[in-house]
Every structure is written in C-alpha cells, then in structure tokens.
Amino acid sequence: MTSRLARTFAHALLRRIPHGNLTIAENGQELMFGTRAPGARIEVLSPRAWRMLLRGSNGLAEAYAQGLWDSPDPTAVVRVAARNAPALDRLRARFALLLAPTQRARALMSHNTRRRSRRDIAAHYDLGNELFELMLDPTMSYSCALFEHPGMSLQEASLAKLDHVCRKLQLGPGDHLLEIGSGWGALALHAAGIYGARVTTTTISREQHAYTSEQVRRAGLQDRVTVLCEDYRDLRGSYDKLVSIEMIEAVGWRHFGTFFARCSELLRPDGAMLLQAITIDQDAYDVEKASKSFINTYIFPNGCLPSLPVIEQSVKRRTDMTVAHLEDITSHYVHTLRRWRASFELSAQRLTALGYDERFQRIWRLYLAYCEAGFTERRIRDLQLLITKPGWVASGSSQPISEQLLSRVAAG
C-alpha cells in the first residue's frame, strides 16, 4: 500500500516536469513523463524504490546502491533532475526562514572541529590509494583538468591545469608557495620541479601525507618541498603565494570566513592566492548548506559547496584581499569526470578483488555520474579565482624554468 501511494505521488510530480523527459519501465510496462530533451530512462526493479525516491537525493542513492532501480545511463537521469532543480530551489527558498533554526541546530551538532575534519577527510581520501590510482591519471590529480586542445589525454590535461595555476600565480624560483590541500602531491611536485619554487604543502589525510612524502623523496625534491599533516587553522609562517585546489568544499559553511582570514594572514603584503572551487548558485546554497544530501552523506561527509557571492563576501569582510581575476573552467570538468568514470568502470573486477564491493561501486558510479551531470547542466560550476593582497603587482605569466636554472636552484 505504501509503495503504491508513493508511486502515485511520484507519477503526479513527474507529470509536471517542464524540462527533459523520463521513461520509467516497471513490470513490463513503460511510462514517459515530459517531452523535451534531455531524456533518460529508469528501470524500477522493486516497488520499494518509490518510497525511497521520495526522500530526495539520499533516497535516490540508497535505492540505487541496493539495486532497486537501474539505468543504462545514470548521468542522463541526474541531468533531467538537475534541469528541473531550480524550480524546486525557489520553492524551498520560500521556506528558508522556517528551516533556519533547524539548520543552525544541525550546524552546532556538526561543528567542524579539527578532529571531525580529520575524520571526514579520512572517510573519503583514506579509502585506499589503489582506488584512486585505478581511477585517476598518473599524476594522481583529483580535480578538474584543463583540456586546452582536442585529443589531449587526461594526464596531459592535468599537467596543463598545473601549468595554468603556476602561471597565474607568476610562480618562480624565488617564491615560497603554501598549498592547502596536498592531494597526492601533483601540484607541489610541479611547482618545485618545473618552476623551481619552494613549496610547503599540507593535508589532513594520513594516506595522502604518506603518499606525497614518498613522491617528493622519489623526485629528489626534499630540499624544496615540505609536506605537513596539519589543519589549515594551525599553519604558521609567511608565504609569497598560496594555492588551494578544490579543498574549500571541505571547510564547512560556518567556516568560510575563517578559511579566508587565515589565508590572508599567511600571505605576505604583496602575495596572491589561487583558489579553485566547486561552487553552487546562491539560491541553492541557501537551502543546501546545512541539508543532508547524497554527496555530503555518502561521499564527502559534511561537505558544503560555497556560492560565488559567499566567497566574495568572505574575502571582502574578513581580509584585505581582492578578487582580481575569475575564470570558469566548468566545461573541462565534464570531460575530466567522463574519463574518471570510464577508468572506474574498466577497473570493476580489480576493484572487487581489492575489496570494494558491489554496493560501494554502485555508490561511486552514481557519484561520478551525479557530478558529471551537475557540471553539464551547470547546476554546479568550477571556478579559478586569483585573490591578491594590496601590494600584489601583476608582471605577466611566469614560464617554466630551464633545466640549467633548475639544477642551480636545486643545488641551493
């Protein structure tokens, strides 16, 4: 009875979708809702799926993880949902004031302490380096690549992005660069090995710290790269340049101001910061920031995407810095995620042998499809912001240093 009522209610909602179309197959019958592109297809394998689908993205994910529904193209399903999400955002925004006390209470219960931050980061980034090695390119870059030319491999595009970041920061041998969020060391190695900078990089993932430290040792860059396992709030020192690539999403919505204030304190008066951030529209941010969703429940515990206005306001209110340049690289993330998802699919047997069971793999397939669809429909965006201190003077893009100069720099 409950499943039938849930199905009836869901069908009533689907008949009202203004964008895209969705074909639902169940018990040998098919129903199509909507008539416009893009289109998607779902096969309902259990009536229990209807009750779960009414719980939003968490229900959608849990039902998929349990195999209660399937699709030949989960990305298309999420694209249809994303295309229709703005209308739902506006409806939810009307109730934002009513939800505010609940959001504040939830935020207090999930305060981003240092211990909690380490635990949340470990829940994703310490899942095992083998998982990420199978999915990512040899640089182990876990952020948007930059496909500057047709036909570029993922590795080439990742290297292009690293170059792009270093050039924006006008990085050179005389600079001391601070990186907040090491990943697996790709940027630190590139900045020190190709541009000759001195680099201090930090992560609170123990596996990333160990992996990056080993990569620095293998590259012979111990004299130029220092790898820390410290929370950004505990960092000390003064740096010429600062970079943070897709780390702000783990800061928590109540701490965005703290993050930018700390970055500003760590920079010299003529310094600059390059921030690469996945962002969400302001209307969606207002209702999503303290909500429980598929991504911040199953993938990045307690994560929160900032909006561009929130970033700009935090910089203005908590620092003496200025957003000097903004670049939207969202379209490149669609291609990046498509490559990650293809590698993940090809590695299914190997992942199973490593202990990543079918439920885990279904959750991660949906995660990669979910993000790809979000960027395709521009529900979420990926932005690079150059944020500068008052004394910053732009002097043109920097260039990779010569091997001869690199040898002299490495020799001290």
Beta strands in 252-301 (DSSP E): 267-280
CA dihedral 199, 205, 210, 212 (to 10 degrees): -40
Known catalytic residue at 371: yes
Cα separation, 140 vs 134, whole angstroms: 10
Note whether 52 and 62 are within 8 A (CB). Answer: yes
Contact 283, 272 (CB under 8 A): no
d(CA 275, CA 101) in angstroms, rounded, equals 31
The CA-based dihedral angle spanning residues 379, 380, 381, 382, taken in that order and rounded to the nearest 10 degrees: -160
Burial of 240 (0-12, 13-18, 19+ CB in 10 A): buried
> Which one is catalytic: 166, 263, 304, 371?
371
Instruction: Work out whether strand 198-202 and strand 225-228 pair parallel, antiparallel, or are unpaired.
Output: parallel
| Kind of pairing between the strands at 267-280 and 239-245 | parallel
- Buried (b) or exposed (e) across 276-311, using 16+ Cβ within 10 A? bbbbbbebbbbbbbbbebbbbbbbbbbbbbbbbebb
Give the catalytic positions in this structure: 371
